[in-house]
Amino acid sequence: MSIFILIASLIGGVLLSAQSSVNGSFSSKAGTLESAFLTFITGGMMLFIVVLFFGTGNFLSFLEAPKWQLAAVWFGVGYLFLTILAVPKIGVIATNLAAIIGQLSMGMLIDHFGWFGGMLVPLDWQRLLALLLMFIALRLIYQANIKERKERGQISVLKAND
The pLDDT tens digits of the residues spanning 106-131 come to: 999 999 999 988 789 999 999 999 99
- Could you tell me the CA-to-CA distances from 21 to 77, 82, 93, 95, 124 in Å, in that order? 17, 13, 10, 10, 34
Query: What pLDDT band is residue 155 in, cutting at 50, 70 and 90?
Result: low
Domain of 27 in residue numbering reads as 1-88
Same domain flag for 7 and 84 = yes
Computed over every residue of the chain, the mean pLDDT equals: 87
One domain, residues 121 and 79: no
Examine the domain organization and report whether 98 and 82 are in the same domain: no
Domains of the chain: total: 2
**What would the pLDDT profile of 13-51 be if each residue is shown by its tens digit?**
888 888 888 988 889 889 999 999 999 999 999 999 999
Residue 158 has pLDDT above 80, yes or no: no
Residues 3 and 76 in one domain: yes
User: Considering 88, 113, 146, which residue would you say is the last residue of a domain?
Assistant: 88
Pick from 161, 152, 24: nearest CA to 96: 24
Q: The whole model's pTM is what?
A: 0.76
Which residue from 30, 37, 28 is spatially nearest to 77, judged by alpha carbons? 37
Total Cβ atoms within 10 A of residue 93? 17
Residue closest to 86 by CA, chosen among 74, 101, 105, 71: 101
Position 67 scores a pLDDT of 84
Residues 65 and 29 in one domain: yes
